[in-house]
Amino acid sequence: MPIKIITDSGSDLPPEYTKQYDISIVHLPVHFGHELMPDDMNAKDFYDKMHESKELPTTASPSPQTFLDSFKQVEAGTDILVICMSSNISSTYQTAMIAKEMYEEEGHPNAIEIIDSKLFSGGLTLIVAMAAKWSLTAASLAELKDRVLKKVEETTAYFTLDTLENVIKGGRLSRISGAVASVLNIKLLLKISDEGIVEVVEKTRGLPKALTHLLAKLDQKQHDYEQAVIAIVHSNCETLALEIKRRILEKHPFKEVLLSTMGPVMGTYAGQGGIGVAF
């Protein structure tokens, strides 16, 4: 039985993957003030608008109805696997669960499983991309879900930010602490924890040193290069992301690299110049 993959816009999938594997994306609403951004907003336009705006854009979870509408668009006889960003940074997973109940109460025939990935951005990108590939050969929805959950447990994701401006605007760092960090050119190396929250791993002086420390994390894990895939995401700094890709492949010849731009949801919190890797 075919399996349809659905995720949310907390993932940052390369567009070609979305098309190739017919992945549906349920978008989180993004507002600048009272203005709702279109779901298909160009990443460059978003970052330009964010740079010009005095206030940080805001995000919200999709409504259960939005998920339900997405479920109903899947043709009968096709099972559905929904992979959501971490429930510890967004209520999107809980919303999808409500929509699943609504779908089942209405008597629709397709089976649905929903996974809390405990990841987002590059980490979620990697999980969804692998799930999409595996869905083509999976014997059942249950088998695919188990395989995806195992991959979630194995996945490690790190990122670093060039600017703390958005973290300060969003109230996640005090203005005084942020001002001190900015003056001292302190960059944070961050990790997505097993619980799906952001942890500060290291503080370094300058972005080059932060990126070097980020790349060193790849040395701490065994990689099966004949099978391994790595995701690299960036927030409007493609040239830097391509350089990071080159440096990674010099030492770690991954079978495939998923390179993509952070969309409006993740870009809201990362600001310009962020780099993330998941493997």
Q: Are strands 24-26 and 112-116 parallel, antiparallel or unpaired?
A: unpaired
Relative orientation angle of helices 64-72 and 92-105, to the nearest 10 degrees:
50
**What confidence score (pLDDT) does residue 188 get?**
86
Band (55; pLDDT cuts 50, 70, 90): confident
**What confidence score (pLDDT) does residue 181 get?**
63
**What confidence score (pLDDT) does residue 178 get?**
54
Domain ranges of the chain: 3-153, 157-278
Mean pLDDT of 194-199: 92
**CATH topology assigned to domain 3-153:** Rossmann fold (3.40.50)
**CATH topology assigned to domain 157-278:** Hypothetical Protein Tm841; Chain: A;domain 3 (3.30.1180)
**Percentage of residues in the chain with pLDDT exceeding 90?**
85
Same fold, 3-153 and 157-278: no
Digit-coded pLDDT (tens) for 94-149: 999 999 999 999 999 999 999 999 999 999 999 999 999 999 999 999 999 999 99
Digit-coded pLDDT (tens) for 166-186: 766 665 555 555 555 666 788
Do 99 and 64 touch, CB atoms closer than 8 A?
yes
Q: What is the Rg, in whole angstroms, of the alpha carbon atoms belonging to the chain?
A: 19
Mean pLDDT of 231-259: 98
Tokens of 56: 């940080």
The contacts of residue 171 (CB under 8 Å, 6+ apart) are: none
Band (199; pLDDT cuts 50, 70, 90): confident
What is the distance between the alpha carbons of residues 151 and 133, in angstroms, rounded to a whole number? 13
**What confidence score (pLDDT) does residue 179 get?**
59
End-to-end CA distance of the chain, in Å?
A: 29
| pTM score over 0.85 | yes
